[in-house]
């Protein structure tokens, strides 16, 4: 019988030798679109003798396959290590590629799949992302905006009313839990990435801009088909999801540089918040660390510019070819604040457009390109409000996403369905709808507020007022509300009530450096209860979770959306619909 100790030693030896072998980017089992650009990198564990190094693809030397001379960098990152890096290479023949990298002592072999596509089916692609949108958000949005009677919804959400549906796995290459950077990057590039990274494989060096890049869909559709590109969000435009469509960096917080990537890529439509990093240092509200004025630069490059909803409408009426709209220094305010409560920064920015107005403006501009367009639309505050345990605001922004999807769907129908529409979350939040919160204390007089949380048959149905024409009930502070709680939290005070003044702010800086504690501002709210968190004190909010997310789709090419998929497959659905690897296109590439 093998002793457990020996087995453990054998396992560690095995992993030890793997750790010594080369790391190759793109990674093992990467699936790549034929002709898409990528950086090829081999990281050797230590210094190498170039004469002994061999890097081959299907047995052919890499310099022959990529038609580039061998460049080995020694002392990478001032460490005793060597690497090989080739920028912007392509593989122009579909098939299986066995990639072998040897330093003369150890060898690593991985496999890539390079795929072609059929002919183009869709003229346009619209990718809607509900950031952090969980099944609970969807159900709550349905209950509030469609209502329910005797257990049957009185209507369908546009996001659910689509012929195709799939579950999408969201893990990144470094973790089972993803953030918005690497999850959006998987949609945009078809490659896995790491937390905080977009458009790159996060390598071992410190520089957040030297990591091996992979081409994104915005670049592909422009380069290959001359299509227009639009990026629309209600978060900062530099934030992870919108940025991942355009930028390449290992560190999503590099907002100044991400603006530069937007400028270099020149998407035809850019609408969102995040003005602060477009403004030169010293300008009111500016966050840039240099003197560059990116609003002026975009204007000089021919972009019409708007900062309010009114301006957006009047600028679009002039039929611009390029459009930049930045409606807030930071994130835009969500639907609940803009329409009803006037909290957040609405006092400062009273005329921020709704996501539906942004989408309508984007469709106006982009649809004038005869070659079609790719448009990404994010309802991004769903995620941010959910981190803050502010479920009402998150649900209202889910309703807003649904309105934007309905608008796009009606627009596509009127054109004869030439547009692939996808609606997906980028990752889940661990929130659940567990019942209602009922203020009728006659059922439990003098009991703590938690006794108002009704479950099973006691939960019954909420009593929000009938929604307005946009699907929003005019009040959230009704006497029987949805009870939605997160399975992850810091220490905080649970008030069991919607926050009517401003978005919830559950934590403040704690006494130890870097730690957080419950925000005392809610301590004396009537009936508030201290809730001991289940997360590290270094975490100030609820966190993402690793469950699959829902993808719904309609239009040409949507038939590939079904069953269980990986987040990298979403990219493949889009490039298949656009025929980005069709033989007529790849034929041109090969020449």
Closest CB to Zn ion among residues 102, 196: 196
Rounded to the nearest whole angstrom, what is the least distance from the CB of residue 331 to Zn ion in the complex? 12
Number of neighbouring beta carbons within 10 Å of residue 352: 25
Dihedral over Cα of 340, 344, 350, 356: its sign: negative
| Residue 396 C-alpha from the chain's centroid | 19
Q: Which of 85, 104, 97, 137 is nearest to 426 (CA)?
A: 137
Closest CB to Zn ion among residues 288, 429: 429
d(CA 565, CA 265): 29
Rounded to the nearest whole angstrom, what is the least distance from the CB of residue 319 to Zn ion in the complex? 37
Rounded to the nearest whole angstrom, what is the least distance from the CB of residue 382 to Zn ion in the complex? 9
Residues 336, 337, 338, CA angle at the centre, nearest 5°? 95
Rounded to the nearest whole angstrom, what is the least distance from the CB of residue 166 to Zn ion in the complex? 22
CA dihedral 529, 532, 535, 540 (to 10 degrees): 40
Closest CB to Zn ion among residues 131, 337: 131
Closest CB to Zn ion among residues 124, 180: 180
Closest CB to Zn ion among residues 103, 383: 383
Pattern 451-490, Zn ion, x by CB under 5 A: ----------------------------------------
Q: b/e for 354-380, b at 16 or more Cβ within 10 A?
A: bbbbbbbbbbbbbbebeebbbbbbbbb
Closest CB to Zn ion among residues 436, 507: 507
Closest CB to Zn ion among residues 240, 316: 240
* Interface positions, 371-400, toward Zn ion (CB under 5 A): 383
Rounded to the nearest whole angstrom, what is the least distance from the CB of residue 132 to Zn ion in the complex? 5
Rounded to the nearest whole angstrom, what is the least distance from the CB of residue 235 to Zn ion in the complex? 10
Which residue has the CB atom at the shortest distance from Zn ion? 383
Rounded to the nearest whole angstrom, what is the least distance from the CB of residue 89 to Zn ion in the complex? 33
Per DSSP (E only), the strands in 426-476 are: 431-438, 453-454
Q: Which of 309, 237, 311 is nearest to 273 (CA)?
A: 237
* Interface positions, 546-585, toward Zn ion (CB under 5 A): none
- Cβ atoms 40, 86 nearer than 8 A: yes
Q: Is the peptide bond before 26 cis (omega within 30 degrees of 0)?
A: yes
Rounded to the nearest whole angstrom, what is the least distance from the CB of residue 195 to Zn ion in the complex? 11
By the 10 Å C-beta count (0-12 exposed, 13-18 middle, 19+ buried), 583 is classed as middle
Secondary element (H or E) of residue 43: strand 38-43
| Strand bridging mode 228-236 / 269-273 | parallel
Closest CB to Zn ion among residues 99, 181: 181
Closest CB to Zn ion among residues 39, 383: 383
Secondary element (H or E) of residue 129: strand 124-130
Helices (H) and strands (E) in the chain, counts: 16, 28
d(CA 180, CA 127): 15
Closest CB to Zn ion among residues 160, 383: 383
Rounded to the nearest whole angstrom, what is the least distance from the CB of residue 394 to Zn ion in the complex? 11
Rounded to the nearest whole angstrom, what is the least distance from the CB of residue 581 to Zn ion in the complex? 32
Rounded to the nearest whole angstrom, what is the least distance from the CB of residue 333 to Zn ion in the complex? 17
Rounded to the nearest whole angstrom, what is the least distance from the CB of residue 387 to Zn ion in the complex? 6
Question: Can you tell me whether residue 44 is helix, strand or coil?
Answer: coil
Q: Which of 423, 379, 405, 438 is nearest to 553 (CA)?
A: 423
Pattern 334-373, Zn ion, x by CB under 5 A: ----------------------------------------
By the 10 Å C-beta count (0-12 exposed, 13-18 middle, 19+ buried), 502 is classed as middle
Closest CB to Zn ion among residues 355, 425: 425
d(CA 178, CA 175): 7
Size of the site for Zn ion (CB under 5 A): 1
Closest CB to Zn ion among residues 43, 333: 333
Name the residues that contact Zn ion, by CB under 5 A.
383
């Amino acid at each position: 019988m093998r002793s457990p100790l020996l087995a453990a030693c054998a396992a560690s030896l095995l992993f030890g030798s793997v750790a010594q072998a080369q790391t190759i980017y793109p990674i093992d089992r990467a699936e790549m679109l034929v002709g898409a650009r990528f950086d090829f990198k081999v990281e050797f564990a230590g210094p190498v003798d170039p004469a002994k190094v061999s890097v081959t693809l299907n047995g052919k030397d890499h310099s022959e396959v990529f038609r580039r001379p061998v460049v080995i960098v020694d002392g990478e990152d001032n460490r005793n290590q060597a690497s090989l890096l080739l920028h912007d290479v392509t593989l122009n023949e579909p098939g299986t590629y066995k990639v072998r990298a040897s330093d003369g002592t150890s060898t690593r072999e991985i496999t890539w799949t390079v795929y072609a596509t059929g002919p183009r089916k869709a003229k346009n692609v619209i990718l809607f992302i509900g950031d952090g949108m969980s099944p609970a958000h969807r159900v709550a949005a349905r209950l509030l905006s469609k209502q329910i009677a005797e257990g049957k919804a009185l209507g369908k959400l546009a996001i659910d009313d689509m012929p195709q549906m799939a579950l999408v796995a969201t893990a990144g290459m470094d973790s089972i839990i993803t953030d918005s950077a690497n999850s959006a990057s998987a949609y945009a590039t078809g490659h896995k990435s790491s937390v905080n990274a977009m458009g790159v494989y996060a390598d071992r060096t410190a520089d957040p801009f030297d990591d091996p890049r992979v081409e994104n869909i915005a670049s592909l559709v422009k380069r290959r088909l001359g299509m227009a590109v639009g990026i629309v969000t209600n978060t900062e435009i530099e934030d992870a999801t919108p940025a991942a469509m355009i930028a390449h960096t290992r560190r999503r917080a590099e907002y100044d540089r991400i603006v530069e990537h937007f400028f270099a890529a020149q998407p035809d439509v850019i609408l969102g918040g995040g003005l602060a990093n477009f403004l030169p240092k010293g300008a009111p509200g500016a966050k840039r660390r240099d003197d560059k004025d990116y609003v002026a630069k975009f204007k000089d490059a021919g972009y019409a510019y708007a900062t309010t909803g009114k301006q957006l409408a009047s600028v679009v009426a002039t039929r611009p070819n390029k459009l930049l709209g930045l409606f807030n220094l930071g994130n835009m305010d969500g639907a609940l604040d803009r329409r009803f409560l006037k909290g957040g920064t609405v006092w400062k920015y009273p005329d921020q457009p709704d996501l539906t107005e942004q989408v309508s403006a984007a469709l106006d501009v982009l649809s004038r390109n005869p070659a079609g367009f790719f448009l990404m639309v994010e309802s991004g505050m769903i995620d941010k409000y959910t981190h803050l345990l502010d479920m009402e605001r998150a649900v209202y922004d889910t309703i807003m996403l649904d309105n934007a999807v309905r608008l796009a769907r009606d627009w596509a129908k009127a054109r004869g369905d030439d547009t692939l529409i996808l609606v997906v979350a980028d990752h889940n939040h661990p929130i659940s709808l567990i019942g209602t919160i009922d203020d009728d204390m006659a059922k439990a007089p003098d009991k703590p507020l938690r006794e108002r949380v009704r479950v099973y048959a006691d939960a019954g149905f909420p009593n929000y007022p009938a929604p307005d024409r946009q699907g929003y009930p005019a009040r959230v502070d009704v006497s029987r509300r949805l009870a939605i709680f997160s399975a992850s939290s810091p220490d905080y005070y649970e008030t069991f009530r919607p926050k009517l003044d401003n978005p919830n702010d559950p934590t403040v800086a704690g006494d130890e450096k870097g730690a957080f504690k419950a925000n005392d501002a809610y301590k004396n709210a009537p009936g508030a209860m201290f809730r001991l968190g289940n997360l590290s004190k270094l975490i100030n909010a609820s966190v993402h979770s690793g469950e699959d997310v829902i993808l719904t789709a309609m239009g040409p090419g949507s038939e590939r959306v079904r069953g269980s998929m990986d987040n990298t497959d979403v990219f493949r659905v889009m490039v298949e619909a656009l025929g980005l690897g069709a033989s007529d296109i790849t034929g041109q590439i090969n020449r």
